[in-house]
């Protein structure tokens, strides 16, 4: 069944200093999203500096040359908007969503901190403690999160660039100096390492004038180093047990090395993930939650837990997290999940399943395009990771064109127990792990 694609209007261009710009006009509501991505994430960090990209995300809200600490939030919120930032394996992003007549406000704020961030001992010390407190509250004192964020990447990957914790360690945070932060800022937070997206009620020519006025004179920097993220060939199944003092139910994480972004298998596994895990008609829900009643709750994705299909980047993986019944051994639950994956590889999928998956993908795509910030995020990720924001208008069709045969072939190729990683999370009064 052929879809009726939603085509976003967009214009791409580049400033003389290298800043890539994407404009997408939609005057339906008087709101505009300003979305800025920098090509630096956790994979760009060096040993001894884990968590640096995340620390720097915090530093970006500590004030800039003409906007003292706290003013960024105050100005945006006083003008009826909202804002945030986040750290990912391959990029760090920031956004403001404002009434469209306040577009100059957001552009000025973003340009001011790109031009000159307030980097000093006081701000660094303050944000070191903020990140530590975030780790205590969101990782160390939450069930499953330490296993997911810290232990799982170490088991799944062998290359340090891919396997270390995104949020970092206390020791590495304490070792960070003002000079380290200043060097990191100069290296990565440059216009030629960034993508600026405007989506919503904008006037293209006026927007271009404002962007040139605010960003055009910011000096570019040398091309930043890119990490070597290549993974060695997997050498058999890798298993570990993590004891979690905060967990009340046991859990399993199961993962396989994944395909290259935008390869045929990438699209096939993206559709297969919907068939396996999306909604009450999915195979996992019908066969594991309702049928065998071995799994209580689950989630999965290409790139889980740090990415989705839109920001998945090589090397990646297809991973599954499952809470399971405490009276069942983890290996029995693992066997149930493995059998579900093997059914696809051995027997394929039906036409009705495939059509349901296509309908789900259509609905999810339209849902994301309904908001200005959702459109901006898709445009920005495609521009930064793929080099072409225009892919936003063709990617859905690539998923919808996947055939049942391609899905079965991908399942055979990637769901190989001989190369998988398995982490068992055990409720325990004493934290730790065992091989």
Q: What is the pLDDT of residues 36-64, one digit of tens each?
A: 999 999 999 999 889 989 998 999 999 99
Average pLDDT across the chain, whole number = 94
> Could you tell me if residue 27 is inside a domain?
yes
Task: Give the position of tokens 């804002």.
Answer: 83
Residue 136 pLDDT class (50, 70, 90 cuts) = confident
> Could you tell me if residue 2 is inside a domain?
no
Q: Check residue 5 and give its pLDDT.
A: 66
> Helices H, strands E: what count in the chain?
17, 12
Same domain, 51 and 126: yes
What is the rounded CA–CA span in Å between residue 295 and residue 287? 9
Bridge partners of 321? Answer: 253, 299
Same domain, 310 and 169: no
> Could you tell me if residue 425 is inside a domain?
yes
Please say if the pLDDT value at position 2 is more than 80: no
Same domain, 110 and 189: yes
Residue whose C-alpha is closest to residue 257's, from 146, 387, 416, 119: 416
Q: Check residue 4 and give its pLDDT.
A: 57
Same domain, 326 and 361: yes
Q: Check residue 363 and give its pLDDT.
A: 95
> Could you tell me if residue 221 is inside a domain?
no
Structural domains in the chain (count): 2
H or E element that contains 257: strand 251-257
Q: What is the pLDDT of residues 246-282, one digit of tens each?
A: 999 999 999 999 999 999 999 999 999 999 999 999 9
- Compute φ and ψ for 283, nearest 5 degrees: -65, -40
From 215, 247, 268, the end of a domain falls on 215
Residues across the chain: 435
Least confident of 60-64, 88-92, 96-100, 325-329: 60-64
> Could you tell me if residue 223 is inside a domain?
no
Bridge partners of 301? Answer: 319
Of the two residues 251 and 171, the one the predictor is more confident about is 251
CATH number for the domain spanning 133: value is 3.30.830.10
Residue 355 belongs to what domain range? 238-434
In contact, 38 and 193? CB cutoff 8 Å: yes
Residue whose C-alpha is closest to residue 402's, from 300, 267, 283: 267
Task: Give the position of tokens 């009705």.
Answer: 352
Same domain, 306 and 268: yes
> Could you tell me if residue 341 is inside a domain?
yes
Structure token digits, residue 295: 């799994």
> Could you tell me if residue 229 is inside a domain?
no
Q: Check residue 343 and give its pLDDT.
A: 98
Residue whose C-alpha is closest to residue 414's, from 315, 298, 299, 310: 315
Same domain, 335 and 402: yes
Q: What share of the chain is helix, strand, coil (3-state, %, to 5)?
A: 45, 20, 35
pTM over 0.75: yes
H or E element that contains 354: helix 351-369
**DSSP characters for 373-421?**
HHHHHHHHHIIIIIS-GGGGGTHHHHHHT--HHHHHHHHHHH--GGG-E
Same domain, 250 and 376: yes
Structure token digits, residue 83: 């804002």
Same domain, 249 and 390: yes
Please say if the pLDDT value at position 115 is more than 90: yes
Q: In the chain, what percentage of residues exceed pLDDT 70?
A: 97
Mean pLDDT of 207-233: 96
Same domain, 69 and 208: yes
From 184, 215, 246, the end of a domain falls on 215
Same domain, 177 and 278: no
Same domain, 342 and 392: yes
Q: Check residue 138 and give its pLDDT.
A: 81
Same domain, 342 and 257: yes
Please say if the pLDDT value at position 358 is more than 80: yes
Tell me how crowded residue 176 is: count the other CB atoms within 10 A of its CB: 22
From 200, 215, 230, the end of a domain falls on 215
């Amino acid at each position: 069944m052929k879809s009726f694609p939603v085509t976003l209007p967009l214009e791409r261009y580049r400033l003389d200093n290298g800043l890539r710009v994407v404009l997408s006009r939609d005057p339906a509501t008087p709101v505009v999203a300003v979305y800025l991505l920098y090509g630096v994430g956790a994979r760009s960090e060096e040993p001894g500096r884990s968590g640096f990209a995340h620390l720097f995300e915090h530093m970006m809200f500590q004030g800039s040359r003409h906007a003292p600490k706290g003013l960024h939030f105050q100005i945006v919120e006083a003008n009826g908007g909202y804002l945030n930032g986040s750290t990912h394996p391959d990029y760090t992003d920031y956004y403001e969503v404002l009434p469209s007549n306040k577009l100059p406000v957001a552009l000025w704020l973003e340009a001011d901190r790109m031009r000159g961030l307030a980097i000093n001992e006081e701000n660094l010390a303050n944000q070191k403690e903020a990140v530590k407190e975030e780790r205590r509250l969101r990782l160390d004192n939450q069930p499953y999160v330490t296993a997911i964020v810290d232990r799982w990447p170490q088991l799944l990957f062998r290359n340090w660039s891919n396997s270390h914790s995104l949020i970092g360690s206390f020791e590495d945070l304490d070792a960070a100096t003002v000079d380290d932060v200043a060097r990191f800022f100069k290296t990565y937070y440059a216009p030629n390492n960034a993508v600026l997206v405007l989506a919503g009620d904008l006037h293209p020519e006026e927007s271009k004038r404002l962007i040139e006025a605010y960003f055009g004179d910011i000096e570019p920097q040398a091309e930043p180093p890119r990490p070597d993220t290549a993974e060695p060939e997997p050498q058999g199944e890798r298993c570990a047990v993590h004891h979690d003092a905060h967990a009340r139910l046991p859990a399993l994480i199961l993962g396989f090395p994944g395909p290259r972004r935008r390869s045929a298998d990438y699209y096939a596994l993206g559709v297969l993930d919907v068939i396996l895990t999306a909604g009450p008609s999915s195979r996992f829900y019908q066969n594991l939650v309702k049928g065998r009643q071995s799994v209580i709750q689950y989630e999965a994705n290409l790139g889980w837990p740090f990415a989705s299909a839109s920001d998945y980047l090589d090397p990646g993986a297809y991973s599954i997290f499952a809470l399971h019944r405490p009276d069942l051994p983890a290996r029995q639950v693992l066997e149930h999940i493995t059998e579900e994956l093997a059914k696809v590889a051995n027997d394929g999928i039906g036409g009705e399943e495939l059509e349901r998956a296509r309908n789900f993908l259509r609905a999810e795509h339209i849902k994301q395009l309904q908001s200005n910030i959702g459109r901006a995020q898709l445009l920005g990720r495609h521009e930064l990771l793929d080099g072409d924001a225009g892919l936003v208008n063709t990617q859905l069709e690539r998923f919808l064109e996947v055939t049942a045969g391609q899905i079965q072939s991908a399942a055979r190729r990637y769901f190989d127990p001989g190369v998988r990683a398995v982490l068992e999370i055990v409720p325990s009064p004493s934290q730790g792990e065992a091989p």
